[in-house]
Amino acid sequence: MNIVDKLSTEFKIKAEHVNNIISLIDEGATIPFIARYRKEMTGSCDDQVLREFSERLQYLKNLEKRKEEIVQSISSQDKMTDEILLAIENATTLSEVEDIYRPFRPKRHTRATIAQGKGLRPLADILISQELRSGNIKELAMPFVSDERGVASWEEAVAGAQDIIAEDISDDAECRKLLRALIYHKGTVLSRRNAGEDTVYNLYYDYSEPISKIPSHRILAINRGEKEDVLRVKLEIDTDEALEVIYRKFIRDGSITTQLVKEAAEDSWKRLIYPSVEREVRNELTEKATAQAISMFAINLKNLLLQPPVRDKVILGLDPAYRTGCKIAIIDKTGKVLDTAVIYPTPPQNKTEESKRELKRLINKHNVDVISIGNGTASKEAEIFIAELISELDRPVSYMVVSEAGASVYSASKLAASEFPDFDVSLRSAVSIARRLQDPLAELVKIDPKSIGIGQYQHDMPPAQLDAALGGVVESCVNSVGVDLNTASVSLLTHISGLSRSVAQNIVAFREENGGFKTRKELLKVPKLGPKTFEQCAGFLRIPGGENILDNTSVHPESYDATEKLLKLTGLSLADLSDDDGCIKTLQDKITSMGESSVAELCGIGIPTLRDILQELQKPGRDIRDELPPPMLRTDIMKMTDLMPGMELKGTVRNVVDFGAFVDIGVHQDGLVHISELSERYVRHPSDIVKVGDVVTVYVLKVEAEKKRISLSMKKPRTPESS
């Protein structure tokens, strides 16, 4: 297989660029670095394409390695033929290669191997050839009867020969491929109740759906129900259709042995092929469903991490609780903790007025702008309390309920203990709740993504596969935003391209000892941070207010000379960037008049890099998150009993799953917009319409207070006039 040609075809990337990408990956370049700073070499592939490319490249390398192993194994058995070698070379998946290898794989103790040990292979060959048109089976089998070999009768000889034929049919790669395809196209998934009364799996107690149509989330639900021993699951296919596939290849009518071969084929299907292929198909369905779930988790995580920060606000974080009280932490505009407290406005204490007095004191003392409330235990009561409090204040204060998923994991971690050694666990949670509103990315990278609570069946996912995918998302988000080199935590720096945890710790130690970085070049003074690491990380690290304005942009140091040449074309310098509007307008006019190609050539760079530099010069220090709609802050609260069908509300998307989106409409219980209610047009997947963090207009369809269910729609109700 020519891997370069295959990747070029699959990804629609020029072979030259494919070779470049492979070389960069093999040299140890990170995906963010390749995507951002090697666009000329890759044809401007984005990081998502590059990650998929990298995964596919590894799969193809593994496939080639496995092919080599199998060729070596079959050759060592002196069974290699040109036909087998060609089949292996043409195989495009690992399952195809394993099917080809199946007949040559060392066998465990089977009925067929026992029969072959008794010398019945020649009889099996005679039977399956189906060339005899006359005679009788007894006379054919009698020569194979042998007390010495353990064949007591001609019937036993025939039965043993049929066992060999059954296994031969089962080992046939082409036949298995056709049967697998048949199950995919015409098979059905069946699930039945195994035990228990009403459970979350009620829908699947007597359920069937074509394999070709069943969505990923139902595959995972059925799998979980089976794992919990609530459901019995199987794949069903018409036996006659399956046997017809086998007959077409192995049956020749008119022979005295034809019926025996048919019986062997039926045995092969029932005993060997169907159980095996059913497992394979179910595994493949699970793998696809898992990939879809991980993909959805990754999309949600990316949108959550890239939520716009609430800048330049003093924030009060509130971690709700009942008996132990609500923990309070106030942070300043940089995230520094100003004050902490504990109040008891919730049951059983119900010290509402006392709690109001304490919070009013803290709000006025520190000029609090926003209150961030965790959505865990006692959140509803805390939200009602805060809404009442805000109505009594003399200064404008708003609030937002944030997901506190993972806050307890973080607060009990070594990282939290090192950050706040004098705080107890719950106060650390209050700080985290405040900070994840102030800067979601900087705070959430401290938490294992699986604990953030935006996935679907994440606990059923293969840990290594899930960690790799989510780790890639975190890396992509952190590097696309960039971090302040002089304030970023070790946790944040660890996700920067090329930086290990030990190097990130060395960076923090260096700035603490030397009073912060003044230029990116000083990174080369950090222990264990050499030229290769500098190349990978420098462009993603910002220094606001540093000696060189380019150090506060994503322009890579390797392009500084080119940037200065670009400015000189219009008689400008870096010092002129403070007058950015006039400078950039002059620069743009010059590039237009000279042509991009000419300017890029004069500067010694490619057109994609030229465009990136120009964009960065327009707004040094820009944050891509600021271009997104800000989070929706509230000042009052509603109850489920206030909701009426047809009511129009604004809400924030909290989670997107295969069957719809969950939206926070300010009543403590998120409502579900089913996929069918997302748009008037056909929706392939909810993620095509909404993403985590979106502020959307919804309409109430149905409220089931006793079940804590709210059904919403994003389709505007039709009025009599409009209909």
pLDDT tens-digit series, residues 630-681: 888 877 777 788 888 999 998 889 889 989 999 988 887 889 999 999 999 9
The per-residue pLDDT for 721 is 52
d(Cα 596, Cα 607) in Å, to the nearest integer? 7
Residue 582 confidence (pLDDT): 67
Residue 720 reports pLDDT greater than 60:
no
Average pLDDT over every residue of 327-348: 94
DSSP state of 272: I
HEC letters along 551-613: HHCCCCHHHHHHHHHHHHCCCCCHHHHHCHHHHHHHHHHHHHHHCHHHHHHHHCCCHHHHHHH
Q: What is the pLDDT of residues 77-126, one digit of tens each?
A: 999 999 999 999 999 999 899 999 999 988 788 999 999 999 999 999 99
Q: pLDDT for 602-625, tens place per residue? A: 999 999 999 999 988 888 888 888
Q: What is the pLDDT of residue 586?
A: 79
Classify domain 3-104 by CATH architecture.
Orthogonal Bundle (1.10)
Whether pLDDT at 716 is above 80: yes
**pLDDT confidence of residue 414:** 87
| Whether pLDDT at 198 is above 80 | no
Q: From residue 40, how far is each of 46, 584, 591 by CA, in Å? A: 12, 24, 19
Domain boundaries, the chain: 3-104, 315-454, 508-627, 640-713
State how far the Cα of 609 lies from the Cα of 334, in Å rounded to an integer: 33
More confident residue, 407 or 306: 306
Q: Tell me what pLDDT residue 723 has.
A: 43
In this predicted structure, the answer to whether residue 722 has a pLDDT above a threshold of 70 is no
Rounded-to-integer distance, Cα 37 and Cα 609, Å: 7
What's the chain's average pLDDT?
A: 91
- The pLDDT of residue 581 is 62
Question: With the CA atoms of 386, 391, 392 and 398 taken in that order, what torsion angle do they form, in degrees rounded to the nearest 10?
Answer: 60
Q: How many CB atoms lie within 10 A of CB 401?
A: 26
Question: 131-144 b/e with 16+ CB inside 10 Å = b?
Answer: ebeeeebeebbeeb
Strand partners, 342: 327
* pLDDT band, very low/low/confident/very high, at 549 (cuts 50, 70, 90): very high
Residue listed under structure tokens 């298995």:
176
In this prediction, residue 580 has a pLDDT band, given cuts at 50, 70 and 90, of low
Residue 458 reports pLDDT greater than 80 = no
Question: Model-level pTM greater than 0.85?
Answer: no
Q: Is the pLDDT of residue 584 over 90?
A: no
- Cα–Cα dist 118/111, whole Å: 11
pLDDT recorded at residue 668: 73
Residue 578 pLDDT > 80, yes or no? no
Residue 579 has pLDDT above 60, yes or no: no
Q: What are phi and psi for residue 350, nearest 5 degrees?
A: 55, 40
Confidence class for position 459, pLDDT limits 50, 70, 90: confident
The closest alpha carbon to 31, from 469, 502, 521, 441, belongs to 469
Going from the C-alpha of 156 to that of each of 50, 153, 163, the distances in angstroms are: 60, 5, 11
Phi/psi at 196 (nearest 5 deg)?
85, 160
Band of residue 251 on the pLDDT scale cut at 50, 70, 90: very high
pLDDT at position 666: 81
Q: Which residue has the higher pLDDT, 558 or 468?
A: 558
- How confident is the model over 279-300, as pLDDT tens digits? 999 999 999 999 999 988 998 8
User: Domain spanning 315-454 has what CATH number?
Assistant: 3.30.420.140
pLDDT at 627 over 70: yes
Q: Label residue 719 by pLDDT band (50, 70, 90).
A: low
The rounded percent of the chain whose pLDDT value lies above 90 is: 71
Burial degree of 585 (CB within 10 A; 0-12, 13-18, 19+): exposed
Does the pLDDT of residue 201 top 70, yes or no?
A: yes
Instruction: Taking residues 399-423, report their average pLDDT.
Output: 85
User: Does 588 have pLDDT greater than 80?
Assistant: yes
CATH of the domain spanning 640-713, picked from 3.90.1660.10, 2.40.50.140, 3.30.1300.30, 3.10.20.30? 2.40.50.140
pLDDT tens digits for range 518-538: 999 999 999 999 999 999 999
Q: What is the pLDDT of residue 463?
A: 87
pLDDT at residue number 557 = 97
**For domain 508-627, which CATH number applies: 1.10.1040.10, 1.10.150.310, 2.40.50.140, 3.40.50.720?**
1.10.150.310
pLDDT, greater one: 243 or 705: 243
Cα 165 to Cα 153: distance, rounded to the nearest angstrom: 19
Render pLDDT for 360-371 as a digit per residue (tens, 0 to 9).
999 999 999 999
pLDDT of residue 280: 93
Length of the chain: 723
Written as one letter, the residue type at 405 is A
* The pLDDT of residue 409: 81
**pLDDT tens track for 18-29:** 999 999 999 999
Q: What is the mean pLDDT of residues 495-500?
A: 96
